A = this chain, B = another copy of it.
Amino acid sequence: MASVLRASRGLRSTGRLASSSIRYTAVRSFTASSACSAQSSFLPDEPVAPKVVTPIPGPKSQQHIAELTKVFDTRSLNMLANYQKSYGNYISDPDGNVLLDVYAQIASIPVGYNNPTLLEAAKSDQMISSLINRPALGNFPSHDWASILETGILRVAPKGLNQVFTAMAGSDANETAYKAAFMWKKQQERGGPDVEFTEQELTSAMKNQKPGSPDMSIMSFKTGFHGRLFGSLSTTRSKPIHKLDIPAFDWPQAPFPNLKYPLEQHAEENAAEEKRCLEEAENIIKTYHNPVAAVVVEPIQSEGGDNHASPAFFRGLREITRRHNVLLIVDEVQTGVGATGKFWAHDHWNLQDPPDIVTFSKKAQTAGYYFGNPALRPNKPYRQFNTWMGDPARAILFRAIINEIERLNLVEHTAKTGDYLFGEIEKLAKKYPEQFQNLRGKGQGTFIAFDNPKRDEFLAKAKTLGINIGGSGASAVRLRPMLIFQKHHADILLDAFEKLAKSL
């Protein structure tokens, strides 16, 4: 099957390049038979199957990797890609290999490579202006910034949260949220927004000493991941390799429920486990020597191994944080934007009282935090500020992503595709119980994972079958397909899973 994506440069009849009308256009050709045999894709010109023509990395990739290694750390390299040739759910490499991508740039590609809707947005005048005229948003916002926010980021704001602070990536989204929490908490202690800082606060802050730089904390959960900068890393508890040798704040961690699967068979002990974790969380909030300003939690611990908890657990956490006047920050960096079958994963919890702050990044292709309570705007300007405060170009892209999600009804679609996929993996798990342990993510869209005793081998072998797939934690295979992942893609994946199960 031939699969080509190329930059069409508006060839004139003379055959010369018409440089004034350069268009970046997806063009694919298939044999008629292969194209006709395929189920209808959201992106009609998508390949119909993976194609593996060399070992990965192949000779051309190896050349590129050798070149890159001279100037860039490639020890974490998974696969060298050619994005101009990638399309929809399929990632291509320079050697002509085309893989079904259910890892999707660590869960950050929402609507497919070279999605035509995003292509249009990228070519728009507004995008081009945003790229080449990058503003200092806090000082010199553009006349259309309110409109970009309202028709984009804020259109999908979580229920109850109508404000946003824009950032660059997950780490600084979380850290700016933590800063908002600390300022809010100290303001309460101080007696409100109109109480001035004391001279002692002003001078001690400049020395990194209390009371100006207080000994307060953010509580996170064991095996959670919230980023790798100094504040966010202090809340990250997934793996030592992330944290070793880096100074950290003396902040507390609560246990995260360690549920047993299948859930139906362990209802009682799982409920007891969640109760135990909530009690310990509450105890830490009440007693930790560095007072807790906020609790940060992922709806599904993603990097840490796809660890789930029930809606009841999260409702309990909301109650506890409210009771002790501590903010609840929900980190939706990996779970947000549709993959769990709801736009925000915390929509599954049916909260009456929304989270105080929700952070986002990855599939949004931009980042930041949502909030609702006006008291979370610091009492003075320049307390929460930086030069760029995000990137309007990326905010415009998120708007296009939202439009595409709505146009194709991709959240509901992902819920359904996820149900199908989960059901089929459940069947595989009955047939090959050793290969698909602790299957989890039921009713959570395509946000599905299972443990495999030879996980790393499983992932490596999947590539030879044309599947790009990722892991998380110590032994989990994590599925992170895009929102345009459909039943016929699932069938290709399931077929590969069965082959893997037989061969491992």
CB contact between A105 and one of B122, B168, B387 (< 8 Å): that residue: B387
What's the nearest-Cβ distance from chain B to residue A302, in Å? Answer: 11
Report the Cα distance A382→B217, complex, angstroms. 26
CB contact between A125 and one of B22, B129, B165 (< 8 Å): that residue: B22
A218: nearest residue on chain B (CB-CB)? Answer: B247
A18: nearest residue on chain B (CB-CB)? Answer: B21
How many copies of the polypeptide does the oligomer hold? 2
CB contact between A172 and one of B67, B186, B229, B249 (< 8 Å): that residue: B229
CB contact under 8 A between A143 and B246, given known A105-B134, A234-B208: no
What's the nearest-Cβ distance from chain B to residue A469, in Å? Answer: 12
CB of B141 within 8 A of CB of A77, answer yes
Q: Which residues of B have CB within 8 Å of A246?
A: 179, 182-183, 213
What's the nearest-Cβ distance from chain B to residue A223, in Å? Answer: 9
CB contact between A64 and one of B143, B150, B247 (< 8 Å): that residue: B143
What's the nearest-Cβ distance from chain B to residue A27, in Å? Answer: 13
| Contact residues of A between 241 and 258, Cβ < 8 Å to B | 241-251, 253
CB of A243 within 8 A of CB of B205, answer yes
What's the nearest-Cβ distance from chain B to residue A261, in Å? Answer: 25
Q: Which residues of B have CB within 8 Å of A234?
A: 208, 230
Please tell me if A312 contacts chain B, counting CB pairs below 8 Å.
Answer: no
A101: nearest residue on chain B (CB-CB)? Answer: B140
Please tell me if A231 contacts chain B, counting CB pairs below 8 Å.
Answer: yes
Q: Which residues of B have CB within 8 Å of A247?
A: 182, 213-217, 249, 290
Instruction: State which size class the interface on A falls in.
Output: 35 or more
A133: nearest residue on chain B (CB-CB)? Answer: B83
| Contact residues of A between 34 and 90, Cβ < 8 Å to B | 60-61, 64, 67-68, 70-84, 86
Q: Which residues of B have CB within 8 Å of A135?
A: 81, 83, 105
| Contact residues of A between 107 and 157, Cβ < 8 Å to B | 108-109, 113-115, 118-119, 121-125, 127-136, 138-143, 145-147, 149-150, 154
Please tell me if A332 contacts chain B, counting CB pairs below 8 Å.
Answer: no
A381: nearest residue on chain B (CB-CB)? Answer: B75
Could you jot down 9 A-B contacts, CB within 8 Å? A78-B139, A118-B132, A119-B132, A122-B132, A123-B123, A169-B172, A172-B172, A212-B240, A241-B383
